[in-house]
Each structure stands twice: as C-alpha cells, then as structure tokens.
Amino acid sequence: MKINLPETGQERIVIIGGGFAGLMLAKKLAGTNYQVVLLDKNNYHQFQPLFYQVAMAGLEPSSIVFPLRKIFHKSKNVYLRVTEVLAVNTEEKFLKTSLGRCNYDYLVVATGADSNFFGNQDLERLTIPMKSVSEALYLRNRILDDYEKALSAIDYDQRQGYIDIVIVGGGPTGVEVAGALAEMKKYILPKDYPELDATEVDIHLIQGAPMLLPGMSENASKQSLKFLEQLGVKVKLDTRVTNYDGEYVYMSDDTTIQSKKVIWAAGVTGSLIEGLPESLIVRGNRVEVDKFCQLKGSSDLFAIGDIAYMEEEGFPEGHPQVAQVAIQHAKLLAKNFKLKAKNKAPKAFSYKDLGSMATIGRHRAVVDLPNYKFSGAMAWFVWLFVHLFQILGAKNKFFVFINWVWNYLTYDQSLRLIIKPRIPSKELEVKQD
C-alpha cells in the first residue's frame, strides 16, 4: 500500500521529522517547484526548550506546541502526513511507514535525538525522560500525584520517597529543571501543601562530569552551581548514576539516594532509521554528512539537525546538538536545493555560533555570547526575550508572556492539575481482542 500523495511531476523531497530542522527546511522550500512531503508521528511542532516549564506546571502544553498544518495553509507544494517511519530502502528510494510506502527523489533525515540510557534497561524503564511534551506532562502528573500521596504517608522514609527528587544530568535541561523544582519547593509547596514540611524536600542533581553545563564557559558552569546551591539544590559532580530500582538511585561513589522519581537528562542519542548506511553511523548514533549536509557517497540522502554529524574547524567532534545548528543546517540545505533547481553549485555549511544560555530560576541565568559572557538578572531577562521570540505563533507568544508576567508578579500559577489520559472501555476491549 502506498501513501496517498499527488503525482505532480515535480521532484519530491521527503523530510522525516517536524522539529527545528525539518520544519525550517519545509518552510524554506514552500513555494518552490519541488513537492515537499513532511512526515512526523505528531501533527504539531514542539518547542523543546520549554518542556521543563510544562513539567513544572509553569506553562500549559498547548502554549509550546503549534499545529503543523496551520503553518502551511498557503503552501500548495507542501504535504503533511502523520505517520511513523519504520525503515528506508535507499536502493529503490522509498520509505516504509505505518501508513504505507512513500517514494522519494530526495530524502532528508531530521529525526533528532532521543534520551541516551547507555544500554541500561532499568534506567530506561524506570526513569522519566523529557524529550516530548507528553513526557513533560507525565512528569507534571507524577510530581503532583506524589505530593498528594505524601500527605497520607505516615512513615517518614516512605514520605521522603515521594517528595525527594533526583535529576540526572547537569546540562541545560537538568540545571533548568533543578532550578524550577527548587522554586516550586520555596514558593508553591508551603501554599498548596501546608501539611507537608517543605524543608524535608530534597532536590538532588547528579552530574557525571566535574562541572555543570559542560558545553558552556567555565564562568557559566561556576555561576550555575552557585545559583543552584543558593536555591538549596544538592549537587553532586563527577558522579555517575549506575542503576535505579524504582526506590533507590545507585551511584559510582557507592552511595544511594531514596526517591520514587528520577528525571533523566544525562545524554542524547540519535534517532536512527533502519536502512541507513551502517558505515556512516558514528558516535552517538549520528549519521555522518559532508559540508553540504549530504550523506557521504550519496546524491539523494541528506541529514540535518541533531541526527547529523559534521566535522568542521573548531568542531572536530561534530557540532553541538542544539536548535541553532538544526536551523542553520535547514537554511543552508534549502538554499542548496534552490541552487540545484537552477543548475548552480551548492554552498558549503559553516556554523555561526550565536551563543548559548540556561536559566536557573528567577533573576538567575547564564549567557555565553561569542564575545561577551554574563549572568544574573540581565541574563535571565535575555533568556526570557530570546525564548519568547522563538516560539511559533502570536497566540502562543501572548499566552506564554501572560503566564510569565503573572508568575513573576504572584510567584504562583494555576496550572497544577493532575490530568491523566483515559482509554474508553470499548476501545480498551478492542485493543485487548
């Protein structure tokens, strides 16, 4: 069975993934003489940098997602299909998907990255990752649900298991989650759960490297550690989490921490598709590409974003897996497709580092710009402005801004709802049959 797509006679570019890279490429190719097919398992784009605010009940999930179809209302050459890509046949040039077969002239892999559990099945099964808005919402439910359970726990150790939280990974996600949890402990718990002693809540951040934010400057690392300690977060550096059994976290220094919740932010691995040339799969499950984002030895296969591995002067181990790299990949590849249509030579990619940043709570953030590094309140306002500007949709920008202003003025949010999915009994019976 084939996916129902019109045969227009145009060359077909199939893009797998509607993240920063795939979406930007599709937008840049809208209105060209190519037929552009965007495949994604969701019908929306997710703004990943703010997942942690959904998890901490600071934003509604709808504020950081945007319907893909709305973006392409006026784009007659762009077609969207919600499906899961199962495999690629590079010889016959087609994809196997859950909807059927999809042929292509050019294939662009923009599948991004998933959480890396380093082969530990217990960690994969029992910890909570945060790579999608649904996972962020699940974490929000778990945190609030466990606070409710802690109210009825008579035994001290049992109660600690519910209220203590461990975050594994000291990159931007781990640092931002730890800061948000610390502020929840300080400002929300005493109001929502006065029967709980907020001083009993321990927030642990475990980092395998000797410094936080290893991709940023030494100043950013030191300042983020200082900010977290000011907020009462217990940070352990140069310590690896070796296992988790659902009750206790086991670490490389032979110590343990009791907690029923472990947030996993310790690393990423490329989301590979079966059928890609194994010889091009490198460290981190990324696909090696040349300076034109093209898989080496191929004229019709491309990879952009987190899944792509490209070495460049100044980046001998590949570019960082961040949104700016993905966006710049997409813009360059779109330009090269347009040049190809005019029989002109393609341009080579060169990454322009615009800087990096992380927030650790109100008036606490670190910003590394190419020629200037700073932290504190000014960095926090810069972080807010940059992320607000990047969110898709005027309505989403407005609601995020209102939520942030309200939270700033009141130290409170009204989004602490435990919303669990429910499968209707009839549908459940069908699935069981």
pLDDT of residue 423: 60
pLDDT of residue 51: 93
Cβ atoms within 10 Å, residue 313: 7
pLDDT digits (tens, 9 = 90+) for 193-202: 999 999 999 9
Compute CA distances 342 → 11, 32, 151, 223, 346, whole Å.
14, 12, 68, 50, 10
pLDDT of residue 365: 95
Cβ atoms within 10 Å, residue 281: 15
Dump the DSSP string for 206-249.
E-SSSSSSTTS-HHHHHHHHHHHHHTT-EEE-S--EEEE-SSEE
CA 137 to CA 239: how far, in whole Å? 28
pLDDT digits (tens, 9 = 90+) for 285-306: 999 999 999 998 899 999 999 9
Structure tokens at 219: 């100043």
Q: Averaged over 161-188, what is the pLDDT?
A: 94
Query: Is residue 94 assigned to a domain?
Result: yes
CA 260 to CA 245: how far, in whole Å? 9
Q: Averaged over 348-373, what is the pLDDT?
A: 93
Query: Is residue 407 assigned to a domain?
Result: no
Residue with tokens 């392409």: 72
Q: Are residues 206 and 247 in the same domain?
A: yes
Among the candidates 251, 266, 281, a domain finishes at 266
Closest listed residue to residue 261, CA positions, set 336, 342, 181, 351? 181
Closest listed residue to residue 27, CA positions, set 39, 16, 36? 36
Beta-sheet strand order (sheet of 241-244): 241-244, 248-251, 256-258
Least-confidence region, from 245-259, 306-320, 400-414: 400-414
Among the candidates 319, 341, 363, a domain finishes at 341
Rg over CA atoms, the chain: 23
Query: Is residue 5 assigned to a domain?
Result: no
Structure tokens at 294: 């093209």
Query: Is residue 377 assigned to a domain?
Result: no
Q: Are residues 104 and 158 in the same domain?
A: no
Tell me if residue 307 falls in helix, strand or coil: helix
The secondary structure element, H or E, covering residue 281 is strand 281-282
Q: Are residues 145 and 259 in the same domain?
A: yes
Closest listed residue to residue 177, CA positions, set 233, 216, 222, 97? 233
Query: Is residue 254 assigned to a domain?
Result: yes
Structure tokens at 153: 């726990």
Q: Are residues 151 and 183 in the same domain?
A: yes
Active-site hit among 7, 60, 135, 176 = 176
Instruction: Give me the CATH number covering residue 312.
Output: 3.50.50.60
Q: Averaged over 26-48, what is the pLDDT?
A: 96
Q: Are residues 90 and 218 in the same domain?
A: no
**Bridge pairing between strands 301-303 and 106-109:** parallel
Contact (Cβ atoms closer than 8 angstroms) between residue 382 and residue 336: no
Query: Is residue 399 assigned to a domain?
Result: no
Structure tokens at 276: 């890609």
Q: What sign results for the dihedral spanned by CA atoms 182, 185, 187, 188?
A: positive
Q: Are residues 168 and 241 in the same domain?
A: yes
pLDDT-derived band at 418 (thresholds 50, 70, 90) equals confident
DSSP E strand stretches across 93-145 = 94-97, 100-103, 106-109, 113-115
Q: Is 176 a catalytic residue?
A: yes
Number of domains in the chain: 2
Query: Is residue 369 assigned to a domain?
Result: no
Cβ atoms within 10 Å, residue 115: 19
pLDDT of residue 417: 78
Q: Are residues 200 and 296 in the same domain?
A: no
Least-confidence region, from 90-104, 205-219, 325-339, 401-415: 401-415
Kindly report the backbone phi and psi dihedral angles of residue 354, in degrees, each rounded to the nearest multiple of 5, phi listed first. Answer: -90, 0
Percent of residues, the chain, with pLDDT higher than 90: 79
Closest listed residue to residue 263, CA positions, set 168, 394, 157, 195? 168
Q: Is the pLDDT of residue 262 over 90?
A: yes
Among the candidates 266, 290, 307, a domain finishes at 266
pLDDT-derived band at 433 (thresholds 50, 70, 90) equals very low
Q: Is the pLDDT of residue 218 over 50?
A: yes
Q: What is the DSSP letter of 34?
A: S
Q: Are residues 109 and 178 in the same domain?
A: no
pLDDT of residue 60: 87
Contact (Cβ atoms closer than 8 angstroms) between residue 394 and residue 376: no
Q: Are residues 210 and 152 in the same domain?
A: yes
Q: Averaged over 65-69, what is the pLDDT?
A: 94
pTM, two decimals, is 0.91
Q: Which has more pLDDT, 188 or 244?
A: 244
User: What residues are paired with 282 via a beta bridge?
Assistant: 286
Q: Are residues 147 and 241 in the same domain?
A: yes
Q: Are residues 204 and 101 in the same domain?
A: no
Query: Is residue 109 assigned to a domain?
Result: yes
Instruction: Give me the CATH number covering residue 197.
Output: 3.50.50.100
Owning domain of residue 138: 121-266
Mean pLDDT (the chain, rounded): 92
Mutual orientation of helices 394-410 and 377-390 as an angle, nearest 10°? 150
Q: Is the pLDDT of residue 416 over 90?
A: no
Q: Are residues 164 and 249 in the same domain?
A: yes
